[in-house]
Structure 1
Amino acid sequence: MQENKQNTNEEISEQEQQELLKKYDKESRFRQFTGFLKWIVTIGAISFSCFQLYTAIFGQLASQLQRSVHLTFALALIFLLYPMTKKAKKNSLPLYDGILVLVSIYVGMYWTIAYSELVQRAGMYNTHDLIVGGLAILLVLEAARRVVGLPIVIIATTFLFYALYGNYMPGFLEHRGVSLERLISHMYYTLDGILGTPIGVSATFIFLFLLFGSFLVKTGVGQYFNDLALLIAGRQIGGPAKVAIFSSALQGTISGSSVANVVTSGSFTIPMMRKTGYSKEFAGGVEAASSTGGQLMPPIMGAAAFLMAEFTGISYWDIAKAALVPALLYFSGIYIMVHLEAKRIGLRGLSKEELPDKKEVLKKIYLLAPLFVIIGLLMAGFSPIRAALFGILSVVLVGAIRKETRMSIKDILQALENGARTALGVAAATAAAGMIVGVVTLTGLGLKFASGLIDLSNGILLLTLFFTMIASIVLGMGSPTTANYIITSTMAAPAIILLLSEPGAPEITMAVLLSAHMFAFYFGIVADITPPVALAAFAACGVSKGRPIKTGVIASKLAIAAFLIPYIFVLSPELFLIDTTFVQGTLVIGTSLIGMIGIGSGVMGYLLRPMNVIERILGGVGGLMLIYPDIYFDLIGVALLGTLVVIQIMKSKKQGEKLKYAS
Structure 2
Amino acid sequence: MAENSTGKGPLSEEELQELVASSDAGARAPAGAVGTLLAVVAVVWSLFQVILASPLANYVLPGDLINNSRQVHLAFAIFLAFMAYPALKSSPRHYIPIQDWVMGLLGAFIAMYGFFFYDKIVNAGGLADDTDKWVALIGLVLLFEGARRALGPAMAIIACVFLAYVFWGSSDWVPEVIRWKGASLKKAMSHMWITSEGVFGIALGVSTKFVFLFVLFGAMLDKAGAGNYFIKMAFGALGHLRGGPAKAAVVGSAATGLISGSSIANVVTTGTFTIPLMKRVGFSSEKAGAVEVASSVNGQIMPPVMGAAAFLMVEYVGISYVEVITHAFLPAAISYMALVYIVHLEAVKNNMPTLGDRVVSLGKTIGGMAVFFVGFAGLCYGVKYPVQWITAMVPSGAAWILAVLVFVAYAVLLWFAAQVPDLEPDDPNAEHVELPVVGEIYKAGLYFLLPIIVLVYFLMIEQKSPGLSAFWATALLFVILLTQRPLKAMFRGESDMANAFRAGVSDLTQGLIDGARNMIGIGLATATAGVIVGTVTLTGVGQVMADLVEFLSGGNLILMLIMVGLLSLVLGMGLPTTANYIVVSSLMAAVVVELGAQSGLIVPLIAVHLFVFYFGIMADVTPPVGLASFAAAAVSGGDAIRTGFTAFFYSLRTVALPFVFIFNTDLLLIDVGWVQGILVFVVASIAILVFTAGTMGHFLTRNRIYESVALIAIAFALFRPDYFMNRIQPPFEIIEPTQLEQELDSAEIGEELRIIVSGPDFDTGETKDTTLVLTVETEGSGAERLDALGLLLMEEDGAMKMDEPLFGSPISDAMQSFDFYADDPVVISSVKATADQMPKEVIFIPALVLLALVAMLQRGRMTREGVPA
Q: TM-score range by the shorter chain?
A: over 0.9
Aligned-residue offset at 1:276:
0.7
Aligned equivalents of 1:494, 1:473: Cα separation in 2:
19
Preserved contact between residue 471 and residue 492 of structure 1 (Cα < 8 Å): no
| 1:577 paired to 2:577 | no
Preserved contact between residue 614 and residue 658 of structure 2 (Cα < 8 Å): yes
> Which residue pairs with 1:642 in the alignment?
852
Aligned equivalents of 2:444, 2:23: Cα separation in 1:
37
Preserved contact between residue 75 and residue 140 of structure 1 (Cα < 8 Å): yes
Residue by residue over 1:243-296, the C-alpha shift from the partner in whole angstroms, topping out at 9 and shown as x without a partner, is 110111111111121111111111111111000111111111101111110111
> Which residue pairs with 1:386 in the alignment?
468
| 1:598 paired to 2:690 | yes
Aligned-residue sequence identity (percent) comes to: 38
Aligned-residue offset at 1:502:
7.7
Preserved contact between residue 127 and residue 187 of structure 2 (Cα < 8 Å): no
Structure 1 residue aligned with 2:608, among 516, 532, 548?
Answer: 516
Preserved contact between residue 227 and residue 361 of structure 1 (Cα < 8 Å): no
Preserved contact between residue 127 and residue 190 of structure 2 (Cα < 8 Å): no
Preserved contact between residue 12 and residue 267 of structure 1 (Cα < 8 Å): no
| 1:339 paired to 2:340 | no
Which moves more between the two structures, 591-600 or 59-68? 59-68
| Secondary structure at 2:478 match in 1 | helix
> Which residue pairs with 1:550 in the alignment?
642
Preserved contact between residue 687 and residue 715 of structure 2 (Cα < 8 Å): yes
> Which residue pairs with 1:204 in the alignment?
209
Residue by residue over 1:354-373, the C-alpha shift from the partner in whole angstroms, topping out at 9 and shown as x without a partner, is 21243123332221221121
Which moves more between the two structures, 113-122 or 296-305? 113-122
Preserved contact between residue 525 and residue 579 of structure 2 (Cα < 8 Å): yes
Aligned equivalents of 1:11, 1:634: Cα separation in 2:
48
User: Does the C-alpha gap of structure 1 residues 210 and 81 become closer, same or farther in structure 2, counting only changes over 3 Å?
Assistant: same
Instruction: Please list, as runs of the form range in 1=range in 2, the aligned pairs for 1:214-613 lying within 5 A after superposition.
Output: 214-351=219-356, 352=358, 354-358=434-438, 359-379=440-460, 380-398=462-480, 400=483, 403=488, 408-501=504-597, 512-613=604-705
| Secondary structure at 2:170 match in 1 | helix
> Which residue pairs with 2:387 in the alignment?
none
Letter matched to residue 153 of structure 1: A
Which moves more between the two structures, 278-287 or 625-634? 625-634
> Which residue pairs with 2:38 in the alignment?
41
User: Does the C-alpha gap of structure 1 residues 640 and 446 become closer, same or farther in structure 2, counting only changes over 3 Å?
Assistant: farther
Aligned-residue offset at 1:172:
2.5
| Secondary structure at 2:112 match in 1 | helix
> Which residue pairs with 1:166 in the alignment?
169
Instruction: Please list, as runs of the form range in 1=range in 2, the aligned pairs for 1:57-136 lying within 5 A after superposition.
Output: 57=54, 58-59=56-57, 65-136=68-139
Residue by residue over 1:64-121, the C-alpha shift from the partner in whole angstroms, topping out at 9 and shown as x without a partner, is 6111111111111111121111111111111111111221232122212111111111
Aligned residues: 643
Aligned equivalents of 1:443, 1:16: Cα separation in 2:
45
Aligned-residue offset at 1:636:
4.0
Preserved contact between residue 303 and residue 329 of structure 2 (Cα < 8 Å): yes
| Secondary structure at 1:484 match in 2 | helix
| Secondary structure at 2:260 match in 1 | coil
User: Does the C-alpha gap of structure 1 residues 91 and 398 become closer, same or farther in structure 2, counting only changes over 3 Å?
Assistant: closer
| Secondary structure at 1:235 match in 2 | coil
Preserved contact between residue 476 and residue 488 of structure 1 (Cα < 8 Å): no
Aligned-residue offset at 1:144:
0.4
Aligned equivalents of 2:12, 2:252: Cα separation in 1:
19
| Secondary structure at 2:355 match in 1 | coil
Preserved contact between residue 593 and residue 627 of structure 1 (Cα < 8 Å): no
User: Does the C-alpha gap of structure 1 residues 397 and 453 become closer, same or farther in structure 2, counting only changes over 3 Å?
Assistant: same
Aligned equivalents of 1:430, 1:633: Cα separation in 2:
45
> Which residue pairs with 2:864 in the alignment?
654
By relative contact order (CA 8 Å, sep 6+), the higher-ranking structure is 1
Aligned-residue offset at 1:650:
1.6
| Secondary structure at 2:169 match in 1 | helix
Unaligned runs of 5+ in 2: 1-8, 359-432, 490-499, 722-839
TM value normalised by structure 1 = 0.93
| Secondary structure at 2:93 match in 1 | coil
Aligned equivalents of 2:570, 2:10: Cα separation in 1:
34
Aligned-residue offset at 1:13:
4.3
| Secondary structure at 1:589 match in 2 | helix
User: Does the C-alpha gap of structure 1 residues 338 and 195 become closer, same or farther in structure 2, counting only changes over 3 Å?
Assistant: same
> Which residue pairs with 2:790 in the alignment?
none
Aligned equivalents of 2:674, 2:228: Cα separation in 1:
35
| Secondary structure at 1:563 match in 2 | helix
Quote the RMSD (CA, aligned, Å).
Answer: 2.2
Residue by residue over 1:409-436, the C-alpha shift from the partner in whole angstroms, topping out at 9 and shown as x without a partner, is 2322222222111111111111110101
> Which residue pairs with 1:7 in the alignment?
none
Aligned equivalents of 2:168, 2:844: Cα separation in 1:
52
> Which residue pairs with 2:15 in the alignment?
16
Residue by residue over 1:619-654, the C-alpha shift from the partner in whole angstroms, topping out at 9 and shown as x without a partner, is 122122223364144234313322211210121122
TM value normalised by structure 2 = 0.71
Letter matched to residue 490 of structure 1: S
Preserved contact between residue 11 and residue 267 of structure 1 (Cα < 8 Å): no
User: Does the C-alpha gap of structure 1 residues 501 and 116 become closer, same or farther in structure 2, counting only changes over 3 Å?
Assistant: farther
Which moves more between the two structures, 360-369 or 383-392? 360-369
Preserved contact between residue 46 and residue 413 of structure 1 (Cα < 8 Å): yes
